[in-house]
Amino acid sequence: SQQGEEDPQALSIQEGENATMNCSYKTSINNLQWYRQNSGRGLVHLILIRSNEREKHSGRLRVTLDTSKKSSSLLITASRAADTASYFCATDLGGGRRALTFGSGTRLQVQP
Amino acid sequence: SAVISQKPSRDICQRGTSLTIQCQVDSQVTMMFWYRQQPGQSLTLIATANQGSEATYESGFVIDKFPISRPNLTFSTLTVSNMSPEDSSIYLCSVDMTGGAPGYGYTFGSGTRLTVV
């Protein structure tokens, strides 16, 4: 079963605007990861935030984690048309299991 | 990070037939993971494949339908057997190279887009 939900399900913005995606999860986590998927292809790892971290940056990406609310957000600043993709949050299954469970995903469309 | 070669990238198959998907990793990995992504949906874990042992399947997935081989530490195959249109999905393999101390993400194959007609 999926770990949680993401919102919005779809987001359309203009180039240069910021995009914010939210992810909720259900169980305790060791870390939370964000991935990007272009046109139904393989996933590309974007950023990982550990459970003891509250915020992390990587280039134009900013991720926050609120373990008390079991939620995370991904902010893409100054978006570009090339950012058009689906974005997924993921956590490990827990109990020592290394496989990932994914959120429902957000489809981002950046209009040039 | 690892590089995974997954093939075929896409196929159109007749119902009742089987398709075997291959993933080759450029380094040795203990665990490989197989996922299914149904149209417009997120990824669902099918099974975890360890070298030298039977794969561990998730609820809703069975070995007869999705047999997995893991002959060595760099290679795995997933077969989709006796296909029906409901099996039309993207299938992805993935590896975790973090050695139990994740600072980096997992690596995914480029996916196999399967259409069953």
Tell me which residue of B47, B5, B8 sits closest to B26, measured CA to CA: B5
Choose among B43, B92, B105: nearest Cβ to A48: B105
pLDDT at A3: 58
* CB-based contact B42 A45, cutoff 8 Å: no
Q: Are A80 and A15 contacting, i.e. CB atoms less than 8 angstroms apart?
A: yes
- Nearest chain B alpha carbon to A103: B42
In b/e form, how buried is each residue of A75-94, taking b as 16+ CB within 10 angstroms? ebeebeeebbbbbbbbbbee
Would you state the structure tokens that stand for residue B46, as one six-digit string? 């099918």
Instruction: Provide DSSP, A17-40.
Output: S-EEEEEE-SS--SEEEEEEESTT
Distance between CA atoms of residues B67 and B59, nearest Å: 15
Shortest distance between the Cα of B81 and any Cα of chain A, in A, equals 22
Average pLDDT, chain A: 91
Q: Are A99 and B48 contacting, i.e. CB atoms less than 8 angstroms apart?
A: yes
Lowest mean pLDDT among A73-87, B10-24, B31-45, B103-117: B103-117
Would you state the structure tokens that stand for residue B70, as one six-digit string? 């893991």
- Nearest chain A alpha carbon to B48: A99
Banded pLDDT at B52 (limits 50, 70, 90) = confident
Would you state the structure tokens that stand for residue B82, as one six-digit string? 């006796």
* CB-based contact A48 B103, cutoff 8 Å: yes
- Nearest chain A alpha carbon to B112: A41
Mean pLDDT (whole number) for B25-49: 94
Q: Are A76 and A61 contacting, i.e. CB atoms less than 8 angstroms apart?
A: yes
CA distances to A20, A21, A33, A34, B24 from A108, rounded to whole Å, are 10, 9, 17, 14, 31
- Of chain B, the percentage scoring pLDDT greater than 70 comes to 92
Contacts of A46 in chain B (CB under 8 A): 105
Q: What is the pLDDT of residues A7-30, one digit of tens each?
A: 899 999 999 999 999 999 988 888
* CB-based contact B107 A101, cutoff 8 Å: no
Banded pLDDT at B21 (limits 50, 70, 90) = very high
How do beta strands B75-80 and A71-76 pair? unpaired
pLDDT at A2: 43
- Of chain A, the percentage scoring pLDDT greater than 90 comes to 78
Mean pLDDT (whole number) for A88-109: 89
Choose among B6, B44, B102: nearest Cβ to A31: B102
Residue A7: strand pairing partners: A22
Choose among A41, A45, A104: nearest Cβ to B106: A45
Q: What is the pLDDT of residues B56-65, one digit of tens each?
A: 999 999 999 9
Q: What is the pLDDT of residues B54-96, one digit of tens each?
A: 899 999 999 999 999 999 999 999 999 999 999 999 999 999 8
pLDDT at A32: 92
pLDDT at A12: 97
pLDDT at B102: 52
pLDDT at A1: 38
pLDDT at A95: 75
Banded pLDDT at A41 (limits 50, 70, 90) = confident
